[in-house]
Amino acid sequence: MSSSNSVTVQILDKEYSIICPPEERNNLVSAARYLDGKMREIRSSGKVIGADRIAVMAALNITHEMLHRREDRNDAPASSTTREQVRDLLERVDQALSDDADTKIG
């Protein structure tokens, strides 16, 4: 692919140049904006510090949303076990990040 297929997006104040087909540009830009918004929400909560940790929490939250939407549409229902696992994982990551932040602060 040539550089003309490159799209620059900004996520959490950093620019990323991504190569994608022209027909996918709008979807890529929308996805980047959505991710940026989620990451900013997490960062502004003050519970999570560090871009890598914010990215992990955003990915988990977006995955959680996706599983619920999928279930609501009945396209490919997520089992209650999957929902519980994602919910449990979100809680454990949040707790680990809180514990880590307390350790660094205290």
pLDDT digits (tens, 9 = 90+) for 32-58: 999 999 999 999 998 888 999 999 999
Element (H, E) at 77: none
93 within 8 A of 56, measured Cβ to Cβ: yes
Q: Is 84 helix (H, G, I), strand (E, B) or coil?
A: helix
Confidence of residue 78 (pLDDT cuts 50, 70, 90): low
Q: Which residue has the tokens 């992990």?
A: 56
88 within 8 A of 67, measured Cβ to Cβ: no
User: How far is it, in rounded angstroms, from Cα 84 to Cα 62?
Assistant: 15
pTM for the complete prediction?
0.65
Non-local (6+) Cβ contacts of 83 within 8 A are 67, 68, 71
